[in-house]
Amino acid sequence: MSALANGKKWRAGVLGATGMVGQRLVKLLADHPWFTLTEVAASERSSGKRYAEAVRWHLEGPVPEVARGLVVKELEPNLDCDFLFSALDSSVAGPAEEEYARRGYPVVSNSRNHRQDPDVPLLIPEVNAAHLNAIPVQQKNHGYDSGFIVTNPNCSTAGLVVVLKPLADAFGLEKVFVVTLQAISGAGYPGVPALDIQGNVVPFISGEEEKMEAEPQKLLGKWDGNRFIEAGLGISAHCNRVPVVDGHLECVSLRLKKTATLDEVREALRSYQVSDQLASLPTALKHPVVVLDEPDRPQPRKDVNAGHGMAAVVGRIRECPLFDVKLTLLSHNLVRGAAGAALLNAELLAAQGFLKSRNQARAQSVEPVSR
């Protein structure tokens, strides 16, 4: 079900492979059971070099063997792979991703450019897998053959929505107040100068509050066959940068539609589990929300790697004098919020038959589009 007919792995390319998110993707792909990394591309002067030379590696351990010797390509029209991850900078991602979709490549993007497109799924498999139904419409709208674009949300939105989903299901959600304390790795490399953040807080991240107030509307909304219907939540976000390496912490107050005790809220989060089909994806967790009972958790340095970085960790569930519930949540901005999110999206696409061998895809492409 989850492998190509011939038992081979899908061949994956990474656009923007030398950046922070690109490096995480390269690392996560190095041992992946379904995917094999065959192309790395970047929009920069690093093209032409071997990946090991082109990259300034930020992760623990050495550059993975599978990637070391790959030649970094420019954004060339033909790349030797079945589908593409895009970790491109938003200054170039927009048209580049469309062009690859046009050329028949499924594009699994972490960039913000197409997230709000009316026919592009903004996808978290545990939250809105049914939004994949928008793909055929997208292909038709743009005249794409086998190609398409699927996106994952902003790093600070991802953890939040994974936690909101079971509460929305159980009690209905009306209002969300959220203040973030975001890690420096969320700004890429070189990113935040040490002089700005050492022993300091910067209470501003360009465009971040707007994304956090908009993206959950689409993620928690519905695809009605023609378009996305927004969730109609009230959301207010304050975003801050703090001197933490990895892990976005968020303080949240929630107004629910139905009355719920704190124990019911805790239980809804703790018992939340995904379908067996979803849970069988290599990067998925059966329980994507982890609830901690200690009074002073979650904490970025101690809890960021829960569930291999794919869990949303929740603590301090308590009453809110203004709304109904206060809680604190944490998620790994580069895994659940970026590279892991894209990987999980690709796995869902593979499991649902949206990825094909490019040879097969090309064979199909001479026929009229009929999906």
Please state whether beta strands 83-86 and 106-109 pair in parallel, antiparallel, or not at all (unpaired): parallel
Whether 239 is catalytic is no
User: Binding a copy of itself by CB under 8 A: which of 262, 270, 297, 352?
Assistant: 297
Q: Which residues contact 7 (CB under 8 A, 6 or more apart)?
A: none
Distance, in Å, from the CA atom of 157 to the CA atom of 235, rounded to the nearest integer, reads 12
User: Binding a copy of itself by CB under 8 A: which of 107, 132, 155, 244?
Assistant: 244
Decide: is 1 part of the binding site for a copy of itself (CB under 8 A): no
Per-residue tokens: 261: 């005790």
* Subset of residues 154 to 193 that bind a copy of itself, contact rule: CB under 8 A: 175, 177, 179, 181, 184-185, 189-193
Give the closest residue to 249 by CA, choosing from 340, 310, 312, 188: 312
Decide: is 257 part of the binding site for a copy of itself (CB under 8 A): no
Per-residue tokens: 149: 């674009």
3-state class (DSSP) for residue 55: coil
Whether 248 is catalytic is yes
User: Binding a copy of itself by CB under 8 A: which of 204, 226, 271, 293?
Assistant: 204
Q: Which residues contact 105 (CB under 8 A, 6 or more apart)?
A: 13, 79, 81, 83, 84, 147, 358
Give the closest residue to 179 by CA, choosing from 249, 245, 265: 249
Compute the least distance from the CB of residue 240 to a copy of itself, in Å.
Answer: 7
User: Binding a copy of itself by CB under 8 A: which of 140, 296, 308, 362?
Assistant: 296
Compute the least distance from the CB of residue 216 to a copy of itself, in Å.
Answer: 12
Decide: is 52 part of the binding site for a copy of itself (CB under 8 A): no
Rule CB under 8 A: which residues touch a copy of itself?
A: 58, 60, 175, 177, 179, 181, 184-185, 189-204, 213, 234-236, 238, 240, 242-245, 249, 251, 253, 295-302, 305, 315-316, 320-323, 326, 328
